[in-house]
């Protein structure tokens, strides 16, 4: 009976030790970055940007684009950008019955999808700022 208790206490101590070691692992290091995304020099009004690891290992991070700007918390390393963007081409009254006078943006996706061009950045440290410009076929 004494051996069973001693074994149980030893197993309990081992489980607690493994739990503390496991709690110290936080995963890949993330840093806050910011930047602007433009097409032919004009800001992307609204959209999203994803930061895929170039080596295919690790998480994909993302952020929203508002008035051409983004702020994101991403893992460090080389990233491939995946952007979905649109521009504001006008406004319309979204719901004249329930919300008269409340206007919404009329969005248009960028023609020709310039975002198929592969853009890479290397995230190294907190506070980095990136200026990413895509070019449409018409501007080339």
- Name residue, tokens 């006008």: 90
Residue numbers of the domain that contains 128: 28-139
Contact 63, 72 (CB under 8 A): yes
On whether residue 5 sits in a domain, the answer given is: no
Q: What is the pLDDT of residue 9?
A: 45
On whether residue 13 sits in a domain, the answer given is: no
List, for residues 58-91, the tens digit of each pLDDT value. Answer: 999 999 999 999 999 999 999 999 998 888 888 8
Contact 49, 83 (CB under 8 A): yes
- Name residue, tokens 């692992």: 25
CATH number of the CATH domain containing 126: 2.60.40.10
Low-confidence ranges of the chain (pLDDT < 70): 1-27, 111-113, 138-140
Cα separation, 68 vs 131, in Å, equals: 10
Structural domains of the chain, count: 1
Residue 68 C-beta-side C-alpha neighbours within 13 Å? 13
On whether residue 10 sits in a domain, the answer given is: no
């Amino acid at each position: 009976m004494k051996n069973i208790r001693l074994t149980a206490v030893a197993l309990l101590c081992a489980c607690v030790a493994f739990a503390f070691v496991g709690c110290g692992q936080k995963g890949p290091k993330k840093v806050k970055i910011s930047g602007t995304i433009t097409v032919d020099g004009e800001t992307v009004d609204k959209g999203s940007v994803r930061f895929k690891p170039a080596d295919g290992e690790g998480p994909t991070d993302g952020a929203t684009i508002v008035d051409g700007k983004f702020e994101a918390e991403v893992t460090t390393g080389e990233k491939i950008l995946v952007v979905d963007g649109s521009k504001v081409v006008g406004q319309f009254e979204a719901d004249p019955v329930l919300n008269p006078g409340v206007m919404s943006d009329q969005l248009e996706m960028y023609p020709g999808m310039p975002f198929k061009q592969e853009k890479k950045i290397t995230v190294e440290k907190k506070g980095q700022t990136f200026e990413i410009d895509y070019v449409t076929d018409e501007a080339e």
